[in-house]
Amino acid sequence: MHLVNENEFTDRFWGRLPLRSGTAMYYFNRRSPIQYALHKLKYKNQPDIGQRIGRQLGLLLATSPLFESVEAIVPVPLHPKKERSRGYNQSAMLAAGISDTMHVPVLSGILIRQQFADSQTQKKRMERFHNVSEAFVLKKPERVQGKHILLVDDVLTTGATLETCGNALLKAPGIQISMATIAIAMH
């Protein structure tokens, strides 16, 4: 998926968000090793898993000409309340691992999650979009203006969170957005 510009990942955003490229490392299956690892990352206080998987994803991205011009990595933010409760942002852990292997800086604080929302894991497609429709705000657009940005999250399911983040990032003139996740849910 990381070597082909139009793929199952980018197709989820077709006509809704202009993406330069997008990829996931794994398909998400219930009761799979990747579900187990992501569950430990998000809910069992094991942020080191995120950095390790992020380094693997970074190595994969570094082999693709589609991602070689990435200038900065932006993790999908958590609401401050949720981040305090968890102790870390799992997407930031993934971004740190990617940064280690791609040698590209992570820009934290560029996107802010301004609305608290419950977990989306049990929500249906339209509920997910409604849940995050106005949740993210771009701060300091000058830091990403004219750059090729890699937006990072753990799993692509409906695309609601990544699409909303992408739309917020598009407020910066000249920005190009690529996306990467650890897994993509199969439809």
Mean pLDDT of the chain: 90
Domains identified in the chain, total number: 1
Residue 125 pLDDT class (50, 70, 90 cuts)? low
Per residue in 97-120, pLDDT tens? 999 999 999 999 999 998 766 554
Write out the residue range of the structural domain in which residue 81 sits.
Answer: 8-182
Per residue in 66-77, pLDDT tens? 999 999 999 999
pLDDT at 120: 47
Task: Yes or no: say if 88 and 108 are a contact pair by the CB < 8 Å rule.
Answer: no
Residue 156 has pLDDT above 60, yes or no: yes
The answer as to whether 133 is a domain residue is: yes
Considering the chain, what percentage of its residues have pLDDT values greater than 90? Answer: 79
The answer as to whether 3 is a domain residue is: no
The answer as to whether 155 is a domain residue is: yes
Residue 186 pLDDT class (50, 70, 90 cuts)? confident
Provide the CATH number for the domain around residue 135: 3.40.50.2020
Nearest residue to 64 (alpha-carbon basis) of 162, 180, 170: 180
Task: Yes or no: say if 89 and 109 are a contact pair by the CB < 8 Å rule.
Answer: no
The answer as to whether 82 is a domain residue is: yes
